[in-house]
Each structure stands twice: as C-alpha cells, then as structure tokens.
Structure 1
C-alpha cells in the first residue's frame, strides 16, 4: 500500500492526525474527520456491503462507530474550551477551512469510489449520502451550535458540493486505467451500471461511458493494450492531497502550478493551491508519487 498512489494519498491525509499542536490535531481528526466524515465511511458504507452480501464489514464498522462517537465528544470539548476566547477564532476558522477541504479530497474520493464502483447493488448515490451526513448533520446541526461563537461553516462548502458530484467518477476511471499498479481488480462496467449512473448522475454516460467502454475492451489480455497508454498525458498528483489531478472532472481538471523551495508543483484545485501557499515549505518537502519512482521501469515499480 505504501508504494501505491492510494498509500501516498493516505499518508498526506493522515499526517495532520498527529502533527501540529493539540488543538490543530483535534480540529483535523476529532472534528472534521470523525464528526463530518466517519458517518459516510462507517455508517453508510456498510449498508453497501450488507446489500451485496458482505456482513463482516458492517459488524466491524458499526462497532468502530461507537468509539468514534467518543472521539467526536473529545473534539467538541476541546473546541468549546478554546472557542470562548475570541482571539482564537481566526486560527480555528482557518484550521477548519483547511482540514475540511483536505479531508474532503481524500474521504469523498475514497467512499464515493468504493460505494459506487466496487458494488453490484448500490442502495444510494454517494452525493445523497454526503448531503445527508456532511451538509445536514455536520454543517446544519453541529456547526449551527458553534455559530454564536463566531465559527462559520467551511468557506469552500459550495466548492466541495460541486466536486462531490463528479470527482469520484474521474478518480475511479483513473485508478482503473492504472490497473497494473493496483492490488485489486476493477471490473468493467456493464449496461446495468451505465443505467444506474445515468439515472443518478445525469450526463455520466456522455462523460465517462466511452472511457469505461475502452477499459472493457482492453480488459482482455489479447488486446495487448492498457487504458493508461491511451490517455493524452499521464495525470500529475496533487502536491497537497495527492489525488490525481483529474478533478473535479477528468475532462475539465482544475490543475494549477505553484512554487515552493525553488521548484514547481502541480495542485489539483484552488482549495489545494490555497493550502499550499499557506505553508509552501511543508508541502514542497514531500515527494509525490511520480518523484518517488522517476526513471524506473513500470515492471520494477509494480514489484517495488
């Protein structure tokens, strides 16, 4: 996992769980990840497993969620102890905005891809689950109790909503295209899948159907081709979140170039550009996936 692009993405997401001062760590882990995002991951995703005949995952995850509830309370207590001092508000707001964007990039990608592209039966569309748990529950309920203290909902909530409608579709086909690197099998999409996606995400067939057609055709080893070879260029990986720079849509990525420590880096979005520019030194020193394996043969990368 550590040598796969998903491992690099996970490290970038998890680093803030244990680096920084205690309030910063609590904002990232207890408040943003565990309060906003473990419900889609630990409550909603097991529903997908259950309807597809996998019952071990719901048993384990729903047990985990009871522990997550305690962590949420820890975060709320920490936040309430510092938010009453008005001078702390600018720091808390920036921290919330920063971690909300970063965790959205990783968690919405992860849960969206797993729930819709690794399931035969799909009980819901991820965008609807995100609306329920992140917008209605976290922003509408949790954040509303903090508004009297001056803490506002994440500044890029509208941008996150726009990305949630598309980004996991783009990342799913990008991961399928790089299948020689993966430690899982991605099945081709069939007519029933196309119908489901089109019903829940109008325009999906036009945007992604042709790419999945090509993936299905090349899934036969006799074709001697992989979809990765058909792309006009290999996507960069964001220097902040390490998601492939194919978001929000593989057809209209919003990649930007930033500068730090005398080097140029690609970032996937305005949100990640903002985070990078807050502290370029932190992000300039982290090698992205292409840098780690630059100059190596694909076969050697697969075996690494």
Structure 2
C-alpha cells in the first residue's frame, strides 16, 4: 500500500485564522438586524483586508469518522491477506496449537527437531555443502495428529522398496523400482494414519547418498509442471494453484498437486518435496465423492517440510 504524504501548508497562524473565520452574514429582507458587536483590533483588521468568504471546514467528528472507517477497511484487507498465508507464516511449534473452531486444521503434537550426532551439522548449514541429513530419518517423519488411527503397515519405521513402489499404479511399479535400484537409496521410512472423516494420510521419506541422486529421482519421475508418474488410484492430477510461494520453505522445493473432477472412488492430493539428499512424498486421499480437505493437507506438507529444513 502506497504511503500517502501530506505536504504541510506555508501559511502562518494569523493567516489560517483569517481564512477559517466565518464572514459576516449579508442583510436579508425580513430578518432582524444583528446585535452590534464592539469592534476589536482583530475584527477591524478582518474588515479592512476584505477576506473573501470561504466554506466552513468540515466538522472534526466527520473527519474522525472517515478515519475510523478507512482504518476498518484496511484492517479487513490485511486480515484477508493474512488468512491466505497464515499457515506458512507460523513458527514450527505454533501451527498445531493455533487451530480455531471450524478452520479445518488437525491437532498435531508439538514438534521439535531430533538431536544430531556429535559434531554433525544441519542439512542446510554452511558446514554442510552436500545438504546431508545426519539425523535418523525416522525421527524426521511428521507424527500423526490427534484422533488418527495408525496404519499398521506404515508405522514410522523403515519400509522396503516394494512397499514404497506400491504407492504407484501397478503398470508403473516396475519402472519406479528400476529407478530406485539405479539410485540406491540409503533408507526409506514411512508413516500413515486415517482420520475420523475417512482421510487416509501417508508420508514417505527416501534418503539418498547425495543430493544429485535425490534430484535425479524427481526428474526421472517427471515431477515438476506435472505430477509425473501417476500414483495408485489417481486420475487427472494438476498443479494446486492454492499453494503459493509464501508456503515454500527456504532451501526446499515442493511440487503440490490435486486431483481434478471427475475423480474416481477417492479424491487425492499429493506433494513431492526435494530437501537436500531426501525426497518426501506426502499423500492425502479421501474415499467417496468428497474432496480431500485442502487446509489439513497443506498443513501436513508445511510441517513435514519444516522437519526436513
């Protein structure tokens, strides 16, 4: 918003008094003559200078009212903009606790970064140009929110390549398995859960020996302007226009997509995040003809990204 600048006037105090003084009323037929007022030096000077009539200034209470309405409009504008980016602007430990009635966020537990081995730098610090995650990959998985029923297969521990590949369509699993064989990931960890509304959530973390291998997986899956290699039970996936740059976290690259209507037996939202030597795949799917809620999905992506940053 451009800042308005008010240029101060150059008139002196006496001149302002003369301009704003109310002129004498003209004589009107049938109107009783006004009482005589003793002439003072001030009124005499006014009469001699013959200052032309000037409309009276608007009452101060009107100006105050206009100011209040202007401030209210600006405040609502700021609030509207802030709502769009509110999730992204919150601190790591603040997002779960700030859910309000009806906003749709899930109640995640308070988050904290895991301890690192002695002398090991964080992935994007100046002492770690290779952007390696030295923390246990399982400790970097986002925990399930309150009310979730844990997935018995994706418990937050290590999973096999076959389990990860099962996230893709049957006809694409062989090619994805070959990509992983060529890139030789160090570890794959995953956690899943189901919420009371039926939304199924799955998070996979795949760590490689270097950033180059992680980047190569994203490229070989053709993830970028499109969702790339289709996941199982998905139809037409398109870029999610509601995900803005304000949601991105420094040093990480996220690719967020949502399934377009008409969709199949469930509606799917998915996101890939490239975080140094690690690739995250986050999936929310909701059975039936109801769309998967956007706010808890983006909340999940942001919180998981914060743990990887």
TM-score by length of 1: 0.27
Higher relative contact order (CA 8 A, sep 6+): 1
Q: Larger Rg: 1 or 2?
A: 2
Normalized per residue, which structure has more strand?
Answer: 2
